[in-house]
Structure 1
Amino acid sequence: MTKIVGTLGPNSRSVEVISGCLKAGMSGDLLNSFLSLEMFVFSLILLSYIVARFDFSWGDAEFHQETLENLKVAIKSAKKLCAVMLDTVGPELLIVNKSDRPISLEEGSFVILTPDQDKEATSNLLPINFSGLSKAVKKGDDIFIGQYLFTGSETTSVWLEVSEVKENDVVCLIKNSATLAGPLYTLHVSQIRIDLPTLTDKDKEVISTWGLRNKIDFLSLSYARRAEDVRHAREFLSKLGDLNQTQIFAKIENVEGLIHFDEILQEADGIILARGNLGIDLPPEKVFIYQKEALYKCNMAGKPAVVTRVVDSMTDNLRPTRAEATDVANAVLDGSDAILLGAETLRGLYPIETISTVGKICAEVRAAIKVKASVIICFTSSGRAARLIAKYRPTMPVLSVVIPRLKTNQLGWTFTGSFEARQSLIVRGLFPMLADPRHPAESTSATNESVLKVALDHGKACGVVKPHDRVVVCQKLGDASVVKIIELED
């Protein structure tokens, strides 16, 4: 029932690897028998429960566009659809290393953090992308530098202690030896407000070009700190026309976001708990408490909650640790809608195996609960009705049958449906199916019965519907909403 958000990057951008990720996102090849059904009225496509995340903290638009084109090819060949999430950079502090050469930092030495990005990065001098650091910190403050923040590897993450502030520069004592190597190193000062806009000019440019061109399904709003951050982002999307239905997931990454969590949740379509950053801004032993509280609030509000940083060790290893496997299971039991994989799939050595492993852990949790293998089938055009049902966390899966609608802009005719279906891919327990647009399902009750038969046949093929099970069907007949309970025969 729990979904997977996989980040595509250098090690997961070929058609072959992406196809493997899409297939690994499902519990076995459940689609073959369904696709072989010859139906006169309707054909349905089960969407994979993978959401592809494009992280614009690194890489340019051209790089991500090539990856997206490969994703489209993989989707077509694998006969699975996939939603697209654009992750903004936001007010993220970055080490600027234009040479891309590894930088060695020695314990006990000093290094200067400078806003002068024209200077070369060395073991004694690190340019950063923020001119206000010297005004935000004081002597004794801790600063963390790491690749995607905490990776668990002492050799690639470094703790600094502010020793002195000299005009715009910050002199720091290096507290552990490390080598900074790779495309992205972020800088974090615990519980210090960074005076930068949440949606930066760079973010707006990427959204209005790459995002608009590709009609993104989700926007991950990094470093959301207040409700107005979400409102500002929504206003910006609404002005772009084709992105006015794009859902905004507020990414909670620091204490300020937690303080204003309730108001952010009210404005956002969903929440992403960025536990890597939270583990730096908070004492690590406090993160799980806030995680449980945040997931509970999201569940009560009926809004999707996504948890990050669950199998960090699989970036370099084929198997997760026992603690990580338990962490995934607990996130599922707490009510997470999705697990977000970052470095594990972006630059990790085993992206396909990671998705498969996380999927198996999620499925094992579900088996342990021993829920009934029955299903709710919901006919919907916007997807909203099915999401409202999933809000109440029924113990059975919800099959959302999305009915396309014919739409015109006076220049041509198009069908809606796939966009609305893809946005259900991140909601726990909700599995969208897309009806054939050539046959409008609202035309006759016979048509509804035909698509219902296909949905039931698919449920049988998937193993979620068995003889003598009861199935709840929610559908609209004219202006009336009807709920039917069907008891299946042999």
Structure 2
Amino acid sequence: MSTLENNQAIDFKANDAFSRAKGAVRTKVICHLGPKTKDPESISELVESGMNVACLNFAQGNTQQHLEIVQNLRMYLAATKRMCAILVDTRGAKARTGKLKNSQPVKLKGGSTVRIMPDLDFLGDETAFGVSYSNLSQVMAPGRDILIDDGLVHLVVTEINGKNVDCTVVADAVLGEQKGVNLPGIRTDMPTLTAKDEQDLILSCEQKVDIVAASFIRKAEDAKKVRQFLDTHGGSNIKMFSKIENQEGLENFDEILSLSDGILVARGDLGIEIPTEKVTIAQKMMIAKCNIAGKPVVTATQMLDSMINNPRPTRAETTDVANAV
């Protein structure tokens, strides 16, 4: 039966049209845990409400907070005999903005010029700021876009001045510290694992977590490096999921999939690195290939985002979840 034939036969009035068979739940729920959900009571509520995987975002928080979550979760699981996996989401080698004067966000005016400098110690303002990527001037060219803070800040390169990059601000925006910097369509030479990533992976091995989601996997060699690092540090039993977050990762998807235990579709950065309208197509492609390969695939970013503040999801969000499943 074709997809069209299957869909037209759906009885939307049936109460059990989308019910889950007991013991046959294929789709799992992953929850990011942080300072507000690290206590035993919150963890208990999350597991009992359906959390299958607890995700620790190592781009945020500190080691002590993460260890506290692991300890509280494992104590609860031991006492109740329930099951819940632990997934570590690495920070990855992503360019970020540097410090600003008085550590305060600055307003950038549309049409103005701003200089980007490869100097994290530089105290930036509305005329110039630093970034963590030292080779920015070598990979950029006039006319190229630079997107900061998930695209909230849009700059267009006008000139390369030595190691500095001069840009025009496309529209009024607010620039903050430690915000992600995306270079759509640009292949960078940033390392697969930063010093922080290596420390976090060693901690993950020591804590015997279940899954590591490696950020910004661009090619097969990246996946190999993460796998080898885990194996070398006692993490051979840890599953390695590759996060696909840019054009290069999509182009090399087949070889990345073959070397990974699973895939995480990171729609946030991916939606900045490639045209937004292509994210859905890329998502469908990756999910289908993972299904064929028999490997798990995670769809992430802005999933049920409105429920941070509201008790019910939007209609668009429920459709998004159904489409991912």
Q: TM-score, normalised by structure 2?
A: 0.84
What is the CA–CA distance in structure 1 between the aligned matches of 2:132 and 2:184, rounded to whole Å? 17
Q: Secondary structure at the match of 1:93?
A: coil
Kindly provide the CA deviation profile for residues 207-242 of structure 1, in whole angstroms up to 9, marking residues without a partner as x: 12x21221111111111111121112111111112x
Cα gap change, 1:79/1:301 in structure 2, threshold over 3 Å: closer, same or farther? same
Distance (whole Å) between structure 1 residues aligned to residue 125 and residue 76 of structure 2: 41
Give SS of 2:230's match: helix
Give me the whole-angstrom Cα distance separating, in 2, the residues matched to 1:171 and 1:179.
18
Q: CA deviation at 1:86?
A: 1.5
Give matches, 1:111-260, under 5 Å. 111-146=114-149, 149=150, 157-180=152-175, 184-208=178-202, 210-241=203-234, 243-260=235-252
Aligned-pair identity in percent equals 40
- Where in structure 2 are the equivalents of 1:393-404 lying within 5 Å? none
- In 1, Cα distance between the equivalents of 2:114 and 2:76? 46
Q: SS of 1:84's equivalent?
A: strand
Answer whether contact 2:99 2:121 (CA < 8 A) is retained: no
Secondary structure class of the residue paired with 2:157: strand
Deviation at 1:313, TM superposition (A): 3.2
- CA RMSD in angstroms comes to 2.2
Q: Deviations over 1:389-430 (max 9, x none)?
A: xxxxxxxxxxxxxxxxxxxxxxxxxxxxxxxxxxxxxxxxxx
2-structure distance, mates of 1:180, 1:217: 37
Deviations 1:344-383 (A, max 9, x none): xxxxxxxxxxxxxxxxxxxxxxxxxxxxxxxxxxxxxxxx
- The structure-2 alpha-carbon separation of the partners of 1:24 and 1:107, relative to structure 1 and needing over 3 Å to count, comes to farther
In structure 2, relative to structure 1, the CA distance for the partners of 1:220 and 1:9 (3 Å cut) is same
Compared CA separation, residues 300 and 168, structure 1 to 2 (3 A): same
1: CA distance, partners of 2:305 / 2:114: 28
Deviations 1:154-206 (A, max 9, x none): xxx2211112222122222222223345x852110101112012122321122
> Which residue of 2 is the match for residue 264 of structure 1?
256
Q: Deviations over 1:129-173 (max 9, x none)?
A: 110111111111111111xx26xxxxxx22111122221222222
Q: What is the aligned length?
A: 298
Aligned partner of residue 313 in structure 1, secondary structure: helix
TM-score by length of 1: 0.57
Equivalent residues of 1:265, 1:298 under 8 A apart: yes
Select which of 303, 306, 310 maps to 2:298.
Answer: 306
Q: Does 1:106 align with 2:106?
A: no
Contact residue 120 and residue 132 of structure 2 kept, 8 A:
yes
For the residues of structure 2 that align with 1:279 and 1:248, how far apart are their CA atoms? 23
Consecutive unaligned residues of structure 1, counting only runs of 5 or more, are 26-48, 151-156, 333-490
Describe how 1:307-322 pairs up with structure 2 within 5 A.
Answer: 307-309=299-301, 310-322=303-315
Q: Secondary structure at the match of 2:129?
A: strand
- Structure 1 or 2, whichever has the larger Rg, is 1
**Which residue in 2 is equivalent to 1:286?**
278
